Amino acid sequence: MGENETVLNATPSLAARTGNFLHRYANPGRFLRLGARLQPWLTWPAIVLSVAGIVWGLFLSPADWQQGDSVRIMYVHVPAAWLASSGYMGLAVCSLLSLVWRHPLADLAAVEIGPVGASVTAICLATGSLWGKPMWGTWWVWDARLTSVLVLFFLYLGHIALIRAFDEPQRGYRAAAILGLAGAVDLPIIKFSVQWWNTLHQPDSITLTAAPTMSTAMLWPLLVCTLGFTLGFAAILVARLRAAVMESRVRTALAMRRADPHDATREPDREPDRDLGGAVA
Partner 1 sequence: MTHLPYIAAAYGLTVGLAVLLGTSAALRLRRARARLAAVERPARATRTNAP
**Which spans of this chain sit near partner 1 (rule: CB under 8 A)?**
50, 54, 58, 68-70, 72-73, 76-77, 80, 116, 119, 122-123, 126-127, 130-131, 133-134, 229, 232, 235-236, 239-240, 242-244, 246-247, 249-250, 253-254, 264-269
What's the CA gap between 226 and 269, in Å, rounded? 38
Angle between helices 74-101 and 28-55 (to 10 degrees): 170
Q: How many of the other CB atoms lie within 10 Å of CB of 176?
A: 27
| Coil vs helix vs strand at 237 | helix
**Alpha carbon distance, N-terminus to C-terminus of the chain:** 42
Phi-psi region of 65 (alpha: psi -120 to 50; beta: other; left: phi over 0): alpha
User: What's the rounded Cα separation, in Å, for the pair 188 and 145?
Assistant: 11
Spatial distance between the Cα atoms of 100 and 257, rounded to a whole number of angstroms = 33
In terms of phi and psi (left: phi > 0; alpha: psi -120 to 50; beta: otherwise), the region of 163 is alpha
Radius of gyration of the chain (CA): 23
Task: Write down how long the chain is.
Answer: 281
Amino acid, res. 50: S
Nearer to partner 1, 145 or 174 (CB): 145
CB of 95 to partner 1, least distance (A): 22
Query: Which CB atom, from 125 or from 190, has the smaller least distance to partner 1?
Result: 125
Q: Phi and psi (nearest 5°) for 161?
A: -70, -45
Give the nearest distance from C-beta 130 to partner 1 in angstroms: 4
* Nearest approach, Cβ of residue 9 and partner 1 (Å): 43
User: What is the closest distance, in whole angstroms, from the C-beta atom of residue 127 to partner 1 in the complex?
Assistant: 4
Minimum CB–partner distance for residue 253 and partner 1 (Å): 5
Dihedral sign, CA of 41, 43, 46, 52? Answer: negative
Nearest approach, Cβ of 7 to partner 1 (angstroms)? 47
**CB 194 → partner 1: shortest distance, Å?**
21
Contacts of 63-67 with C-beta under 8 Å, sequence gap 24+, read 64/218, 67/135
Smallest separation, CB 275 to partner 1 (Å): 13
DSSP class of 273: E
Which residue type sits at 100? V
